[in-house]
Amino acid sequence: QVRLAESGGGLVQAGDSLRLSCAASRRTFSDHAMGWFRQAPGKEREFVAGINWSGKNTYYVDSVKGRFTISRDSAKNTMYLQMDSLKPEDTAVYYCAAAESWIIPSVMTRRGYEYWGQGTQVTVSS
């Protein structure tokens, strides 16, 4: 059974930092690529960042490059999204996802992922 659980969301001010975590079942984490998506009210769910199974390859949407960092810790079966210099437009529900294959550009789209967490709310006030 594949299980993903996000945590770390909250309410912060513009310019603050926040770190999201995604705890995964061992089977999921060891051989899956992982990604973060977000969905703001009234908008489509969009890709934020992705990381391959080894952690050596990462991709980001242009709007977060230089501010967000995706990483994974195999010992803890956990993926992270460090978010710095947060902006009000980063407000959204953030979802983690797992992909059975690391295929570019598929892993930068929703269809590239088979498993999803329930999401965690991030709100950035101005």
Q: pLDDT truncated to tens, each residue of the chain (126 aa)?
A: 678 999 999 999 999 999 999 999 877 677 889 999 999 999 999 999 999 999 999 999 999 999 999 999 988 999 999 999 999 999 999 999 999 988 889 999 999 999 999 999 999 999
Q: Which of 48, 47, 45, 37 is nearest to 4 (CA)?
A: 37
User: What are the residues whose beta carbons fall under 8 Å from the beta carbon of 56, sequence distance 6 or more?
Assistant: none
Strand ranges in 1-126 using DSSP code E only, listed in sequence order: 4-7, 10-13, 18-24, 33-39, 46-51, 58-60, 68-73, 78-83, 92-99, 115-116, 120-125
The predicted structure's pLDDT at residue 34: 94
Q: Would you call 113 helix, strand, or coil by DSSP? A: coil
Dihedral of alpha carbons 12, 109, 22, 118, sign: positive
pLDDT at 28: 66
Classify 112 as helix, strand or coil: helix
Contact call for residues 68 and 79 (beta carbons, < 8 A): no
Report pLDDT for 11: 98
